[in-house]
Amino acid sequence: MLSVEHVTKQYGPNRAVDDLCFSIGTGQIAGLLGANGAGKSTTMNMITGYLPISSGRIHLHEHEIAEHPKEFKRHIGYLPEFPPLYHDMSVTEQLRFACSLRRAGTKSYRDEEIRRVCALTHIEEMKDRLIGHLSKGYKQRVGLAQALIGSPELLILDEPTAGLDPRQIIEMRNLITQLKEQHTILISSHILSEIASICSRLLIIDHGRLVADDTPEHLMRAAAAENLLLLRIKGTPDQAKRLLDPIESITGFTNSISAEPGCCDCTIESAANVDLRDRIFYACAAASVPIRLLQPKNPTIEDMFIQMTEHKEPYRL
């Protein structure tokens, strides 16, 4: 459906996006991850046509953005990080204005379209209120309703949960999940756990380059390739070192401050497919050192992100 081919964005000597290549199939929810300044918003702005590309090509179906910009944009709904809303308009007036920009058919069609997107985003009760009087969460919903006008095939959502409280984040996440039945979605965020929970595919960019492209499950599995154990003993870091140094197959360990007073936490690295728990248990028992915690360490989505952004070459399974 969407194809980004060797796209680069140059600002003088600086490259905000560098030879970016990926494609998104119909019906997918793809997440675009990256640290602040990685090039996420620049990428989305080029896909929407808001920014011109320096080189490369972007296709949506048979339409190429440089050759058929109007047809290309007709199939896109865009929610930027800060939705372009007029605070002195009511919700209905804002959406009617958006319909006119979209040239969305007759008046009766526009009225029906406004009712449809208000129902989808659950803002029916707010339709007569001024946008300036709405909460941040409802403003995001109005921005999303505006992006849904005309039933675009591709929705591009840039930081849709930015600035929302925990309840509003959950509501927005549920809303986006409902929309995947009718739309292909590209969503950008730096809140890793949020985006991983709703996306079937993750695209990770770092310094403008694609460094990973796969499902969340595969990326997490790759991040878990290291064999790590969490150990908490009642004792000091020096005691932990004396216990662990003699144990073969430990390739390294680090100590950290424990949340439990009088204890020491260790992260233990070992070779793949080696289970050290029995040996660690018997070593602690022989030294009369109580174990408060001993378990495998599963990588978090943040661990995966840090690991993938350290790859020099794009990661694909």
224 has pLDDT over 70: no
225 has pLDDT over 70: no
Give the pLDDT confidence of 19-35 residue by residue, as tens digits: 999 999 888 899 998 88
* Residue 315: per-residue pLDDT: 45
Q: Which 3 state secondary structure label does DSSP give 73?
A: helix
* Residue 226: per-residue pLDDT: 62
* Residue with more model confidence, 114 or 191: 114
Cα separation of the two ends of the chain: 21
What would the two tokens of residue 303 be?
């661990």
Band the pLDDT of 218: cuts 50, 70, 90.
Answer: confident
- Given a contact cutoff of 8 angstroms between Cβ atoms, the answer to whether 145 and 120 are in contact is yes
Starting at the edge strand found earlier in the chain, the sheet holding 209-214 runs 76-79, 154-158, 184-189, 29-33, 201-206, 209-214
> Who's near 41: CB < 8 A, 6+ residues apart?
81, 158, 188
Phi/psi for 172 (5° steps) reads -65, -40
Average pLDDT value for residue range 65-70: 87
Average pLDDT value for residue range 286-293: 94
194 has pLDDT over 80: no
* Residue 21: per-residue pLDDT: 94
pTM: 0.76
123 has pLDDT over 80: yes
Band the pLDDT of 316: cuts 50, 70, 90.
Answer: very low
Q: Angle at CA 41, nearest 5°, toward 37 and 43?
A: 105
* Residue 279: per-residue pLDDT: 92
223 has pLDDT over 70: no
Query: How many other C-beta atoms lie within 10 A of the C-beta of residue 146?
Result: 24
Average pLDDT value for residue range 88-117: 90
Q: How far apart are CA 5 and CA 52, in angstroms?
A: 14
Q: How far apart are CA 260 and CA 12, in angstroms?
A: 53
Average model confidence (pLDDT) across the chain: 87
Q: Which 3 state secondary structure label does DSSP give 2?
A: strand
Average pLDDT value for residue range 264-272: 87
Judged by average pLDDT, the poorest of 91-95, 100-104, 111-115 is 100-104
290 has pLDDT over 90: yes
Domains and CATH numbers, the chain: 2-222 (3.40.50.300), 227-297 (3.30.70.260)
Quickly list DSSP for 167-235.
HHHHHHHHHHHHHTTT-EEEEEES-HHHHHHH-SEEEEEETTEEEEEE-HHHHHHHHTTSEEEEEEEES
317 has pLDDT over 70: no
Q: Which parts of 45-153 are beta strand (E)?
A: 55-60, 63-64, 76-79
Average pLDDT value for residue range 223-248: 86
